[in-house]
A and B are shown apart, each in its own frame.
Chain A
Amino acid sequence: AQSVTQPDIHITVSEGASLELRCNYSYGATPYLFWYVQSPGQGLQLLLKYFSGDTLVQGIKGFEAEFKRSQSSFNLRKPSVHWSDAAEYFCAVESGTYKYIFGTGTRLKVLA
């Protein structure tokens, strides 16, 4: 069955430090992969997506993600975290026409 795993429920980093959020997926075909960010009490905003081609994808707000087929991973990275990046981050895979599967999310806390 298709699934998305975000192994880290909470992550705390200091402002200015680098960040990596992990995402592993299980899907038989070439996946469409997404990262979304959610501020408290708000909807989700798309950070970036991977469909095909270059495995390093650039997104908004200085985020990037790398697709590694051999590891079934799509980890999100940012070289230097800002206090405004504190939020919850969701990885998702398109499991078939019209349907996504979301991970359970990683809540990021940023220390001043």
Chain B
Amino acid sequence: DGGITQSPKYLFRKEGQNVTLSCEQNLNHDAMYWYRQDPGQGLRLIYYSQIVNDFQKGDIAEGYSVSREKKESFPLTVTSAQKNPTAFYLCASSKPPTGGDYTFGSGTRLTVV
């Protein structure tokens, strides 16, 4: 079955470390997204990509980086510049660029230790 796979499900980061969250989809979707979810704040857009080798900053891109070298993959790196990285991270994809509903992965919970 097609879907989005996020890994790992749980991730622990030490202060000053960079960590990379994986997102892979086999839906043949063109667009992919990364959202951050904090309690009481809903979902906030970090980065999104419409096509391979292209991506745009969302509302809270500082301290994060992404790449889109393949259509299926959109990894997110949480850098040491992100001062408060503890959160639930969700990856999503969509095919029609306008009016298309999202398919979400099951998320990665990142905790700073």
Chain A interface residues toward B at CB < 8 A: 9, 32, 34, 36, 41-46, 49, 51, 90, 94, 97-100, 102-105
A51 with B104: CB separation less than 8 A: no
Contact assessment for B99 and A43 in the assembled complex, using a CB-CB cutoff below 8 Å: no
Residues on B with C-beta less than 8 A from A44 are: 43, 90, 92, 102, 104
The answer to whether A43 and B101 touch (CB under 8 A), given A98-B48, A98-B50, A99-B48, is no
Q: Which of B9-53 contact A (CB under 8 A)?
A: 31, 33, 35, 40-43, 45, 48, 50
Q: Contacting A34 at CB < 8 Å: which of B40, B101, B106?
A: B101
- Tally chain B residues at the interface, Cβ within 8 Å: 27
**Closest 5 pairs (CB-CB, A-B):** A43-B104, A104-B42, A102-B43, A102-B42, A44-B104
B106 touches A43 (CB 8 A): yes
A97 and B98 form a contact (CB under 8 A) = yes
Please, how many angstroms separate the alpha-carbon atoms of A43 and B88 in the complex?
10
Interface on B for A, CB 8 Å cutoff? 4, 6, 31, 33, 35, 40-43, 45, 48, 50, 58, 88, 90, 92, 94, 97-99, 101-102, 104-107, 109
Which B residues lie within 8 Å of A9 (CB)? 40
Given contacts A98-B48, A104-B41, contact A43 B97 (CB under 8 A): no
Task: Name which residue of chain B comes closest to A46, CB basis.
Answer: B101
Contact of A98 (CB < 8 Å), options: B31, B107, B109: B31
Given A104-B40, A104-B42, is A41 in contact with B107 using a C-beta cutoff of 8 Å?
A: yes
Q: Are the CB atoms of A43 and B42 closer together than 8 Å?
A: no
Chain A residues with Cβ under 8 A from B48's Cβ?
Answer: 98-99
Complex Cα gap A13–B33 (Å): 34
